Amino acid sequence: MAHTGSVRDAPALEEAREFPLQIEPWDEHNRALVEQVHPPDWTNPTPRGRYQMVVVGGGTGGLVTAAIGTALGARVALVERHLMGGDCLNVGCVPSKAILSAARGWTAAREAQERF
């Protein structure tokens, strides 16, 4: 069953905030992922003066942009309302690569068995 809405029903994340992503399956591994990219005890920092750069979105592009800006000496604010890493790192491109790799391995093993 898909996990939708709130992470409040997960015992390890009782104090977590709500977010509208679907995380499937809602098992110990995905709960650990959410704890890392959406910490339950997170409090938004108080803005410190002016920033030279504000990056909206903590996906792959936003994380790289913020890191480069910081490396160049800019005061950078990174704004993300969902999971740090974005959809690609958390539920899209990267996880699907592992699934595709496993499927290719399964197919290769099955085809090897059929040859013998």
> Higher confidence at residue 6 or residue 111?
111
Q: Decide if pLDDT at 9 tops 70.
A: no
The H or E element that residue 55 is part of is strand 53-56
- For residue range 84-109, list pLDDT tens digits in order: 887 777 777 777 777 878 888 888 88
Helix (H, G, I), strand (E, B) or coil at 24: coil
Neighbours of 16 (CB within 10 A): 20
Inter-residue long-range contacts of 101-104, CB under 8 Å, 24+ positions, other chains counted: none
Query: Residue 86's closest CA among 106, 67, 109, 63?
Result: 63
- For the chain, the structural domain boundaries read 1-43, 47-116
> Higher confidence at residue 23 or residue 9?
23
The single-letter code of the amino acid at 68 is I
Q: Decide if pLDDT at 69 tops 90.
A: yes
- For residue range 12-48, list pLDDT tens digits in order: 343 344 555 667 778 888 888 788 877 778 788 888 8
